[in-house]
Amino acid sequence: MSKVDISVIIPLYNEDESLTELHAWIKRVMEENAFSYEVLFIDDGSNDESWNTVKKLKENNPEVRGFKFSKNNGKTAALQTGFNECNGDVIITMDADMQDSPDEIPDLYKMIKQDGYDVVSGWKQKRFDPITKTLPTKLFNATTRYISDIYLHDFNCGLKAYDSKVVKNITIYGEMHRYIPVIAKWNGFSKIGEKVVQHRARKYGTTKFGLERFVNGFLDLLSITFVNKFGKRPMHFFGLFGVLSFLLGSFITVFLIGEKIYSIYSRLPYRNVTDNPLFYLALVAILVGSQLFLAGFLGELLVKQGVTKDDYLVSETV
């Protein structure tokens, strides 16, 4: 498929009520600004009429492209599929629930093409969410800012813009869609900006995310932090702690044996090394150290062979 100015990627899960209206809004904005464009709807295993709606949109709108998962894989999987399939110079991601405004697209496009940003993240400065959602979000954003050293107010905002070279050179999995700016920075795309965007009250349906997303998101943050620092050199992490643990256990064992030999030689009271609980702690340290070192060694072999994950399964396309 030929290159276009903008690819709009929309992950969706049971959002059939909003899709037609959202597409019409995007189309109006694109035509008013004379953009060439495509709209990629990624159906994340919906069990309502969402996929049928996408197919109907495709019949009369050649810019529409649809991809349906055979099961619910999550938003990150949907975005990664969109990144793999898109053809735009600038990629815009937005949610399907119409809480993101397509009217923001022209300004986001200019920030990428004219201002030279690699990534522009939306900031929903005024939100229409309950306090049970906004307070955990503030804590989540503060933690991510501290760890990543990227000063964004709203990492989790679904409305973002990317230069095409960014999305074609990163891979996301798990629930890492929240950390795409972090992953982009750690892959050398350091010009990351922010734009205040409109947050609209939900018009259709209900939210698909619960509080567990913050726990999962935090675990993913730890994961990508580890992978960034040690993904290409796992021996530096596992090997270091493995050697330290092995040496500590060995030192304690040698000390206990030496103490017994000295007591025997000096005709002092002594007890068997195996009667000392410290010996078993030393033995555990030696075993753990050996296993950590082996884990680092195997990790180095996997990195060297370039092991990659399987692609997400798409069961249908239009």
Q: Which helix (H) or strand (E) holds 123?
A: strand 119-123
Percent share of the chain, pLDDT over 70: 83
Q: Report the C-alpha gap between 183 and 179 in whole angstroms.
A: 6
pLDDT of 150 > 50? The answer is yes
Residue 230: pLDDT band by 50, 70, 90 thresholds?
Answer: low
pLDDT value of residue 305: 63
Q: How many CB atoms lie within 10 A of CB 37?
A: 22
Inter-residue contact 152 to 141 (CB < 8 Å): yes
182/147: higher pLDDT: 182
pLDDT of 211 > 60? The answer is no
pLDDT value of residue 217: 66
Q: What is the pTM (predicted TM-score) of this model? A: 0.72
pLDDT value of residue 175: 77
pLDDT value of residue 204: 63
Listed residue (209, 205, 196) closest to 21, CA to CA:
205
pLDDT value of residue 294: 86
Q: Report the C-alpha gap between 10 and 16 in whole angstroms.
A: 13
Region of poorest pLDDT, from 143-152, 245-254, 297-306: 297-306
Q: Which CATH superfamily is domain 4-230 in?
A: Spore Coat Polysaccharide Biosynthesis Protein SpsA; Chain A (3.90.550.10)
219/180: higher pLDDT: 180
pLDDT tens for 68-109 read 999 999 899 999 999 999 999 999 999 998 889 999 999 999
pLDDT value of residue 163: 96
Region of poorest pLDDT, from 62-71, 85-94, 133-142: 133-142
Q: Report the C-alpha gap between 93 and 105 in whole angstroms.
A: 10
With b meaning 16 or more CB within 10 Å and e meaning fewer, what string describes 158-183? Answer: bbbbbbbebbeebebbebbbbbbbbb
pLDDT value of residue 84: 94
Residue matched to tokens 């110079």 = 89
Q: Report the C-alpha gap between 195 and 101 in whole angstroms.
A: 13
Q: Report the C-alpha gap between 162 and 191 in whole angstroms.
A: 11
Residue 235: pLDDT band by 50, 70, 90 thresholds?
Answer: confident
Residue 263: pLDDT band by 50, 70, 90 thresholds?
Answer: confident
Average pLDDT on 296-304 reads 71
Cβ-count burial of 61 within 10 angstroms (0-12 exposed, 13-18 middle, 19+ buried)? Answer: middle
Q: What is the 3-state secondary structure (H, E, C) of 180-195?
A: HHHHHHHCCCCCEEEE
Q: Which helix (H) or strand (E) holds 196?
A: strand 192-196
Residue 307: pLDDT band by 50, 70, 90 thresholds?
Answer: very low
The CA distances from residue 292 to 79, 223, 300, 304, in Å, are 34, 18, 12, 18
- How long a stretch of residues is the chain? 318
Region of poorest pLDDT, from 157-171, 195-209, 240-254: 195-209
Average pLDDT on 130-155 reads 76
pLDDT value of residue 227: 67
CA atoms within 13 A on the CB side of 160: 28
Average pLDDT on 208-218 reads 61
